[in-house]
Structure 1
Amino acid sequence: MRPRAPGALAVLREPDFRRFFIGQSASLLGDGMIGVALAFAVLDLTGSPADLGYVLAAKSIPLIAGLLVGGVIADRLPRRRIMVVADLARFLGQGTMAALLIAGHATIWELAALQAVHGAASAVFNPASTGLVPAIVTGGRLQQANALRGLAISIGKIAGPVLAGLLVALAGPGWAIAADAVTFALSAITLTRLRPPAHRPPPAQSVVRDLREGWTEFSSRPWLLTLVTTASLTNLLFAAFYVLGPALTARSSGGPTEWATIQAVIGAGSLIGGIAALHIRPRRPLRTGVLAIALCALPTLGLAARLPVIAVAGLALLCGLGMTVFNTFMETAIQHHVPAGALSRVSAYDWFGSFACQPIGQATAGPLAAGLGTYPALWLTGVLQFLVALGALTVPAIRRLPAGTPDAPTAVPQES
Structure 2
Amino acid sequence: MTTSPLASRDFRALVGGVTVSALGSAMTPVALAFAVLHLGGTATQLGLVVAAFSAAEVVTILYGGVLGDRLPRQLLMQGSSAATALSQAVCAAVLITGHGSILFLSLIGMVNGCLGALAQPASSAMTRATVTEAQLPRAVVLRSLASQTASAVGFAVGGIVVAFAGPGWAIAVDAGTYTIAAILYSLIRVAHTPSSSGARILSELADGAREVLRHTWLWLLIGQALLYHLFYGGAQGVLGPIVVGDTWGEEAWGWALSALMAGFVTGGLVALRWRPRHLLRSGVAMLALTAAFPLAMALSGELWLVLLGAFVHGVGLQLFSVGWDLAIQENIAPDMLSRVYSFDLVGSFVCRPIGYALTGPVAALVGVDLWLVVVASVIGLSSLAALGSSSVRGLTRRPTVGPEPEPVTTSG
TM-score, normalised with respect to structure 2: 0.95
The match for 2:29 is 35
Structure 1 residue 238: Cα displacement: 1.1
Q: Does 1:96 align with 2:99?
A: no
Task: Kindly provide the amino acid, as one letter, of the partner of residue 69 in structure 2.
Answer: D
Residue 276 (structure 1) aligned to one of 270, 275, 278: 270
Tell me what 2:311 maps to.
Answer: 317
> Structure 1 residues 353-362 or 182-191, which shifts more?
353-362
Q: Give the Å deviation of 1:7.
A: 7.2
Aligned 1:178-197 pairs, distance under 5 A = 178-197=172-191
Which residue of 1 is the match for residue 106 of structure 2?
112
Partner of 1:131: 125
1:111–1:415 Cα change, 3 Å: farther
- State which drifts further: 299-308 or 260-269: 299-308
Aligned to 2:396: 402
Report the Cα distance in structure 1 between the residues aligned to 2:102 and 2:373, rounded to whole angstroms.
Answer: 29
SS at 2:153's partner residue? helix
- The one-letter amino acid of 1:294's match is A
Q: Determine if the alignment matches structure 1 residue 306 to structure 2 residue 268.
A: no
Listed as ranges, the matches of 1:4-403 within 5 Å are 10-239=4-233, 240-252=235-247, 254-403=248-397
Distance 1:296 1:321, change over 3 A: same
Give the gaps of 5 or more residues in structure 2: none
Aligned to 1:412: 408
Structure 1 position 411, deviation (Å): 5.6
Deviation at 1:157, TM superposition (A): 2.7
Shift of 1:369: 0.8
1:153 and 1:267 in contact (8 A); partners too: no
Note closer, same or farther for the CA distance 1:213–1:201 as it changes in structure 2 (3 Å cut). closer
Please state how far the C-alpha of 1:249 moved relative to its aligned partner: 2.3
Alpha-carbon distance between aligned partners in 1 of 2:374 and 2:362, rounded to the nearest angstrom: 10
Other structure's SS at 2:135 match: helix
SS of 1:285 mapped into structure 2: coil
Amino acid at match of 1:369: A
Supply the RMSD in Å over aligned alpha carbons: 1.7
| Distance of aligned partners of 1:411 and 1:96 in 2 relative to their CA distance in 1, 3 Å threshold | closer
Count of aligned residue pairs for this structure pair: 409
Q: Distance in 1 between matches of 2:121 and 2:173?
A: 25
Deviation at residue 207 of structure 1 after TM alignment = 1.1
Q: Decide whether the 8 Å contact of 1:198 with 1:412 is kept in 2.
A: no
What percentage of aligned pairs have identical amino acids?
A: 36
Aligned partner of 2:207: which letter?
E
Please say which of residues 240-249 and 26-35 is displaced more in the overlay: 240-249
Whole-angstrom CA distance in 2 between matches of 1:274 and 1:357? 27
Read off the aligned partner of 2:268 and give its amino acid letter. G
Instruction: State the partner residue of 1:3.
Output: none
Greater Cα shift, 142-151 or 68-77: 142-151
Helix, strand or coil for the counterpart of 1:202? coil
Amino acid at match of 1:230: Q
Whether the 8 Å CA contact 2:244–2:297 is kept in 1: the answer is no
The answer to whether the 8 Å contact 2:262/2:311 transfers is yes
Mapped partners of 1:47, 1:347: distance in 2: 34
